[in-house]
Each structure stands twice: as C-alpha cells, then as structure tokens.
Amino acid sequence: MGKKTDPLESILGRVEDLDATSLSNLVSRLARERRLLNSVFNTLREGVLVIDAYGTIEYANNSASDLLGVQLQDIGSIRLWKAVPDLARTLNMTRSGQLREAVNLAREVEISYPEPRTVRLYMVPFEEAKESAPVTRYAIILSDITEERSQTRQEMENERVQSILDLAAGVAHELGNPLNSLTIHLQLLERYLQKLPDQEGAARLSRSLAICSGEVERLDSIIRNFLEAVRPKKPDLRDLNLIAPLEESIEFLGPELESAGINVDLSLESSLPIVLGDHDQVKQVFFNLIKNARQAMKSGGTVRIRASSDDSHVTIQIGDTGEGISEEDLRKVFQPYYSTKEGGSGLGMMIVERIVRDHGGHIGINSRKGLGTVITLQFPQKNRRVRLLKS
C-alpha cells in the first residue's frame, strides 16, 4: 500500500491552480480547522508550547499561558529566555535563545514566575518541511505537579515523623518496667527507714527518698502522656453539636481565666449543624487551645471564640490578644516536642492537629508578633462526611 495523503495537503500542493471560489472555500476550511485545533489544545490541562530554534514562542495554549504568565500579544515575538528564564535554563538554552542540542528532554523544574510552581516538562523536536531546507521546532508539554510534589513531601515527612515516634514509643514503653521496679524498691526503702533506730538520720534519708519518688512519678507521667500522644485512640464518631464540648471547656477553665484577668468574648450561631465527632477528643482540642490562649497572655487580655457554619463545614475560631508567634516559630507549631512555652511538652498542638485530622477536619493558624494568634478549626458536617466516607 502507498502512503496516504491528506486531501487538504493535496489541494495546497496545487493552490496556484485554484479559482477564486475554490480558494475562498480553502481559506474557510483552513480557518475552521485552525479553530478546531485551538479548541482542542485549549481544553487540555497540560500546557503546550511551540518554540523555534532560537527560542521564540510561536504557540502557547491557554494552560501554558496561565502557567508561565505568557501574554497573547507576546506570542510570536518573545523569546523563552526572557519570558520564563527558569525554563530556558533547564532546556540548556544560550542567552541568545538557541538550544545547544536538539534532543528529547523529560525533566522537572522549579519556576518562580508568575508564582512558584513545580513543573514536569517533555520536549520533542520536530521538523517542518520547507522547499529550501527543513526547519526544526520544539514542542514542549508542561504539567503542573506542584500539588503532587507538596503532597509527596508531606507524606514523606509524616512517615519520617511516624517512624521516629514509633521508635520513641517503644523506648518509652520499655522505660515503664524499670520505673515500676524503682517505685517498688523505693517503697520498700521507705518501710525500712521507718524501722531504723536513728530517726533523725532516717528522716533526712526519707526526704531524699520522697524526692526520688516524686521524680519517678513525674517520669511516669511524662511517659503516659507521650504514649497517649503517639498511640492515640481511634475516635468514637457520633452525632455531636460542637457547642457542648466547647462550653464545657470554657466552664472548666473559667476560674483560671478569671483569676488571670482574661475575658471571654463568645459569639456562637444559635444552631450549628451536627458533625460526626468524639465528644471527649474534641473537648480535649478546645481545652488545649483555650489553655494555650490563656498562657499566651501574661497580663490579662481577651479570648475570642467564634462558631459559624456554611454549606459544608462548621468553623470554630479561637483567638487571643497575646504575644503572637514569630513567622519562624509558626512553621514549627505542629512539630513534636516544639514549644515556645517554658516547661511545655511540645505535644499539645501535635495532638490537636491529629484529632482534627482524624475527624476529617482542617486546622489553620494565623499569628502576628505582638498582636495575637487565631486558630481556625473546620469540621465537615455530618451529611458531607458520610458522603465522603461512602465515596
């Protein structure tokens, strides 16, 4: 079989023989096909660029224009080096715009304009037949993988943190046995001291023994709290109105807030939608956050609590008028063992984030040094969470 020939190409080969009507029909057909191809390329999520051998952008579909910030009026005149220098460097272009070698490329590149993104690109050279000599052009396919990369990094970080926590949990569990043994022997020593004839010496030893017992008890408490943080219970999800655990936390901390000269500014919707939640775990979240707000205010202030809802989520905001958190510290808030408070365990916010995540929710933090901090919690409404679980 011979090589198939495109009818349109056959007509273009003898265009000088066409009369006015045939030429008009040909131009209309070419315009229709151009519009069709443009529509097809502009529906693609991937960006498509065509550049010549000097790096001039000859074509960019809508996705490529949005991704790279290339304006329509620049197509056909601007060079890739000027439009997207990060991309040009990756393609090994000279500053004059020429590619050093015409090869297939598959790479990932970080671009900074019009906004920081991670892009995967494929470049393929192709030749356009000309009467004098073939002309080489390059088709570049661009995929925005910023979110994919971010998710991968987050998963890797989660795995790293979890492996550390699992190791530490094993060590903490093993520490429990010698601590129990120490407690038993300290109790035996206490009984032995009570029988000694030298009661004055026994009293001195007894005080030292009491200090040792207190430190053992403190270590045991630290281990229990740590194991609770890294080996959490699965939430017992039931119908829950978030107002109930929120008000219980406020009532419990009320005397402490009042003695510290801290006011509570409360604004709640009259009727919040039901969520699926574990009452005790959600109460722990509110308790931790209100406690943190109180500790952030050294000499009085206000804890502002807002509760609202939209079509899909119930939102709780807990803010303070305290010292605020620096930008550097803000990035570390949810990391284990990181605390800006003297004597803090560094586990409180990690536990809060885990509980909110286990409830299908989201947590956000906004803070400015010297102005205060606002924590925003979003819990999916019951009906929305049920649909997500089914899907």
On whether the CB atoms of residues 240 and 282 are closer than 8 A, the answer is: yes
Of 143 and 24, the one with more pLDDT: 143
Question: Which phi and psi angles does 12 have, rounded to 5°?
Answer: -60, -25
Give the tokens for residue 18: 């066409």
* Residue ranges with strand state E in 36-116: 47-52, 57-60, 105-111
Mean predicted confidence (pLDDT) in 348-357: 85
313-322 tens-digit pLDDT: 999 999 999 8
In 3D space, the residue among 318, 390, 332 whose CA is nearest the CA of residue 360 turns out to be 390
**Which segment of 51-55, 326-330, 387-391 scores lowest on mean pLDDT?**
387-391
Q: What is the pLDDT of residue 140?
A: 92
Determine the Cα–Cα distance for residues 164 and 335; give it in Å rounded to an integer. 12
Query: Is 60 exceeded by the pLDDT of residue 345?
Result: no
Mean predicted confidence (pLDDT) in 30-52: 86
On whether the CB atoms of residues 297 and 312 are closer than 8 A, the answer is: no
- Model confidence at 29, pLDDT cuts 50, 70, 90, reads confident
Q: What is the pLDDT of residue 4?
A: 53
Mean predicted confidence (pLDDT) in 158-180: 71
Q: Please state the pTM of the whole predicted model.
A: 0.48
On whether the CB atoms of residues 91 and 123 are closer than 8 A, the answer is: yes
Query: Is 70 exceeded by the pLDDT of residue 340?
Result: no
Query: Is 90 exceeded by the pLDDT of residue 353?
Result: no
Query: Is 60 exceeded by the pLDDT of residue 109?
Result: yes
234-277 tens-digit pLDDT: 888 999 999 999 999 999 898 889 988 999 999 988 788 999 99
% of the chain beyond a pLDDT of 90: 22
Of 93 and 337, the one with more pLDDT: 93
Give the tokens for residue 290: 């209100």
SS3 115: coil
73-93 tens-digit pLDDT: 889 889 888 888 888 888 877
**Which segment of 70-74, 81-85, 98-102, 188-192 scores lowest on mean pLDDT?**
98-102
Query: Is 80 exceeded by the pLDDT of residue 94?
Result: no
Can the peptide bond before residue 336 be classed as cis, meaning omega within 30 degrees of 0?
A: no
**Which segment of 101-115, 237-251, 282-296, 355-369 scores lowest on mean pLDDT?**
101-115
Kindly report the average pLDDT of the chain as a whole number: 81
Determine the Cα–Cα distance for residues 249 and 352; give it in Å rounded to an integer. 14
What is the amino acid identity at position 147? E
On whether the CB atoms of residues 285 and 356 are closer than 8 A, the answer is: yes
Identify the structural domains of the chain with CATH numbers, from first to last.
Answer: 44-144 (3.30.450.20), 150-230 (1.10.287), 238-390 (3.30.565.10)
What is the amino acid identity at position 17? D
Mean predicted confidence (pLDDT) in 328-337: 74
Q: What is the pLDDT of residue 89?
A: 83
Query: Is 50 exceeded by the pLDDT of residue 1?
Result: no
Mean predicted confidence (pLDDT) in 335-354: 68
Q: What is the pLDDT of residue 338?
A: 59
Of 341 and 71, the one with more pLDDT: 71
Query: Is 90 exceeded by the pLDDT of residue 344?
Result: no
